[in-house]
Structure 1
């Protein structure tokens, strides 16, 4: 693990999970506390409404303010005031009140406030129900003890048809205790729960990432040993880590095969270059010692052979590096006729049978090289006839080179496209073939989206068919 904090996936996953859970719990806790507070406040409002309603019913019935049956002041402190804010009645023992807007707790005489006798005349407004007009919080001091209350305001008309306000409170101690208890429980439980979440996440991610660490160690060992035959362990879980291990092993297999091909290529190229270089050096050394014995045509032939081999090796290197030539729209019939016309030193004349309008996108230089390689191969093996045909087969353009030679055995028809492979090694070496022409031709064909295959020709020889996607 590096010196940077949270540099590992396990640490970041643990931190992330813990933070997410913490945020979720905090949000849920706030929602619970708000809901609890709201519900308890609603219950307190209902209690205050009931207490104020009972007092308002007495006032509406005409009861004198001095004779009101008020609830216990500690449970439900009551304050009755008129429109001018004068206190008409208060609960017994109430010595201070806040939150109602009228701080007074000493009743004053009120003319016309209530009647001693309400036997017959109800008076205007007598018997009318009060209306709850306000809820709020405040404090009240009863018998020297101060507490928080939820107050309700009820307006009612008394026997003299004067509108008075009744303030009755319901204690908030239960609400505050419940909210406080819930808050303490959450504050104590949150760190414990976060610790459990963090620990479980740490253990789970460690177990989940154990195969990844095994893959990393094996890859480090492969890098140190340069042994590409080794493979990383594949867990039997079938999950993303298992697929990563499988893909890694497939990549190692492809890399091993590529490196092996490169090694064989270098070895074969060294072997192929050694022969013409040795021959050319021998001829030059003999010519230097005995000028009259210098075989100039042989030296030129070896030089040309070296030049062709070097060009083939360079082209293969570019193809292996993924080089893609620019593609243009080509008339394959015109390309074949032009390339055949350029070949003036062929042993056997080449016959061309090309349909008109057969086009395909491609690199003219690379496709001309494919055709030249196929014709060179046909010239080495044909007896009397070589034919090049160009035609369409569905969505494919086909260029076929057919000879009347001995053909290619069915068991060898894929092997002939391998690099430095010669079925008739002695003859092709003498004629300058290095076994690269067909390999280059198939590589170019496949990089053009097509393919190159060999089958038996109609006259018993070989038929090499170059298939390319048409321009459409």
Structure 2
């Protein structure tokens, strides 16, 4: 089938359609010829039976003429009880019956006997029927030559007309399929014109058919790819910008130390190296979360109240209180969930004025972890933006206090991997962060 795969889609459709049409017409033609022959043969037999019945009626009324008048090409003989010919139609043999002894016996049983037509000097076949009246037998033979000629004419007409019909319909289908595939070619050409540097959009054909919906779907896909490409470019630019600062600081300290001939301050260098290490770790974690790393998809029962007590720092800048409550179970990756809570608590401690409160509880059909601080809060217009990478609000732009702006972005991706949601609200004063997860019944003790 290599040759078939080399054909264009248009050529394949036309070939399949033409072959299917030809096979269908062939089967239809065979059925037509068969039915036509059956109907014509039945008409010949019915005509012969009608003539035999009429002759039998004349015999019963004793008004049978000799020679017997006939209509058409029927061949009639009347036999007496000794199977001798008593009367016949014009041109019929008056010495020998058209049927032999065994054939005559079967005909009297009601069967139609088919014999060669050369018995009466014709070509083809004879169809002979029998009727009886008062011990006499009426033989009516009808040649099927007209039937065969009619069938042959119809067959010849079909053999000529069908190829012409298939060819005409194939030509029409070629133009129709080409017209139907024209929008696909437009989409293909549009995709060919799209470059790696400029994603662009495909020309969508008018209408409400499958090709139109395909164009819309492809454009939505291109939009997502363009957005992902833009996010990647922004990520690279922001990462380069964030990495430049600690690297420049390290270089400056080393240059100063070399200039004055004294060793660089080990504590200062360690601070910058730790900051750089944290930034690289956060970047790698964020990249793994966005790609859905299987290492972050480990699932096991996790008790959130105990996890809060374990994560809350003991010597934080402001007191962090874990509200007592019943155990709240969910299922997920313990390391990833620990990272979520740690990032949120660290962010709350950074901005709190005097206290931070964390709790785990149930809300409807979800398990909710809340982190509340009494800091300045986040304006409603910025509550979606803070989850973007490298985003710092005006009161947290200092890198020393505000971090690299990756904590909440990491939280959002990890929560998404756990099919959870995160919302920000007012705490009056301060900010209330609510993270909702799917609940899980408490595991049975071993």
Distance change in 2, residues 1:435/1:5 (3 Å): closer
After superposition, what is the alpha-carbon deviation per residue over 1:192-218, rounded to whole angstroms, capped at 9, x for unaligned?
211222122111111111111110111
Q: Distance in 2 between matches of 1:391 and 1:37?
A: 87
Q: Distance in 2 between matches of 1:84 and 1:389?
A: 121
Distance change in 2, residues 1:316/1:462 (3 Å): same
User: Is 1:45–1:150's contact at 8 Å kept on the other side of the alignment?
Assistant: yes
Corresponding position: 1:452 with 2:416:
no
Q: Secondary structure at the match of 1:199?
A: helix
Distance change in 2, residues 1:292/1:393 (3 Å): same
User: Is 1:58–1:68's contact at 8 Å kept on the other side of the alignment?
Assistant: no
In the other structure, the counterpart of 1:468 is 437
Q: Distance in 2 between matches of 1:83 and 1:284?
A: 140
In the other structure, the counterpart of 1:148 is 125
Q: Secondary structure at the match of 2:354?
A: coil
User: Is 1:17–1:197's contact at 8 Å kept on the other side of the alignment?
Assistant: no
Counterparts of 1:287-306 in structure 2 under 5 Å?
Answer: 287=257, 292-306=262-276
User: Is 1:73–1:93's contact at 8 Å kept on the other side of the alignment?
Assistant: no
Distance change in 2, residues 1:367/1:399 (3 Å): same
1:422 pairs with 376, 392, 395, which one?
392
Instruction: Please say which of residues 203-212 and 429-438 is displaced more in the overlay.
Output: 429-438
In the other structure, the counterpart of 1:33 is 33
1:377 pairs with 335, 342, 347, which one?
347
Q: Distance in 2 between matches of 1:12 and 1:84?
A: 72
In the other structure, the counterpart of 1:186 is 158
Instruction: Please say which of residues 170-179 and 435-444 is displaced more in the overlay.
Output: 170-179
In the other structure, the counterpart of 2:329 is 359
After superposition, what is the alpha-carbon deviation per residue over 1:230-266, rounded to whole angstroms, capped at 9, x for unaligned?
1111111111000000000000011000000000001
In the other structure, the counterpart of 1:75 is 73
Q: Distance in 2 between matches of 1:405 and 1:217?
A: 56
Q: Secondary structure at the match of 2:423?
A: strand
Q: Secondary structure at the match of 1:134?
A: coil
TM-score of the aligned structures, taking structure 2 as reference length:
0.87
Corresponding position: 1:13 with 2:2:
no
In the other structure, the counterpart of 2:51 is 51
Q: Distance in 2 between matches of 1:28 and 1:275?
A: 83
2:144 pairs with 169, 172, 191, which one?
172
Q: How many residues align?
A: 435
Instruction: Please say which of residues 306-315 and 225-234 is displaced more in the overlay.
Output: 225-234
Q: Secondary structure at the match of 1:232?
A: coil
1:266 pairs with 216, 236, 239, which one?
236
2:227 pairs with 241, 250, 257, which one?
257
Q: Distance in 2 between matches of 1:71 and 1:283?
A: 135
Corresponding position: 1:350 with 2:320:
yes
Corresponding position: 1:211 with 2:183:
yes
Q: Distance in 2 between matches of 1:157 and 1:448?
A: 102
Specify every segment of 5 or more residues in structure 1 that has no aligned partner in the other structure, as ranges.
Answer: 105-129, 159-163
Task: Give 1:294 shift.
Answer: 2.2
Q: Distance in 1 between matches of 2:97 and 2:326?
A: 106
Q: Distance in 1 between matches of 2:102 and 2:96?
A: 6
Task: Give 1:276 shift.
Answer: 1.2
After superposition, what is the alpha-carbon deviation per residue over 1:252-298, rounded to whole angstroms, capped at 9, x for unaligned?
01100000000000111111111112222333455566675421111
Q: Secondary structure at the match of 1:133?
A: coil
1:320 pairs with 290, 295, 307, which one?
290
Q: Say what the alpha-carbon RMSD is for the aligned residues.
A: 3.2
In the other structure, the counterpart of 1:336 is 308
Distance change in 2, residues 1:83/1:298 (3 Å): farther
Task: Give 1:81 shift.
Answer: 6.2
Task: Give 1:41 shift.
Answer: 1.1
Q: Distance in 1 between matches of 2:169 and 2:383?
A: 64
Counterparts of 1:210-229 in structure 2 under 5 Å?
Answer: 210-222=182-194, 225-229=195-199
Instruction: Please say which of residues 288-297 and 374-383 is displaced more in the overlay.
Output: 288-297
Task: Give 1:54 shift.
Answer: 4.1
Specify every segment of 5 or more residues in structure 2 that has no aligned partner in the other structure, as ranges.
Answer: 442-446
Q: Distance in 1 between matches of 2:384 and 2:374?
A: 20
TM-score of the aligned structures, taking structure 1 as reference length:
0.82
Task: Give 1:17 shift.
Answer: 2.1
Q: Distance in 2 between matches of 1:275 and 1:84?
A: 131
Q: Secondary structure at the match of 2:205?
A: coil
Q: Secondary structure at the match of 2:323?
A: strand
Task: Give 1:85 shift.
Answer: 7.6
Distance change in 2, residues 1:172/1:143 (3 Å): closer
Distance change in 2, residues 1:310/1:330 (3 Å): same
Q: Secondary structure at the match of 2:341?
A: helix
Q: Distance in 2 between matches of 1:217 and 1:92?
A: 82
Distance change in 2, residues 1:290/1:102 (3 Å): farther
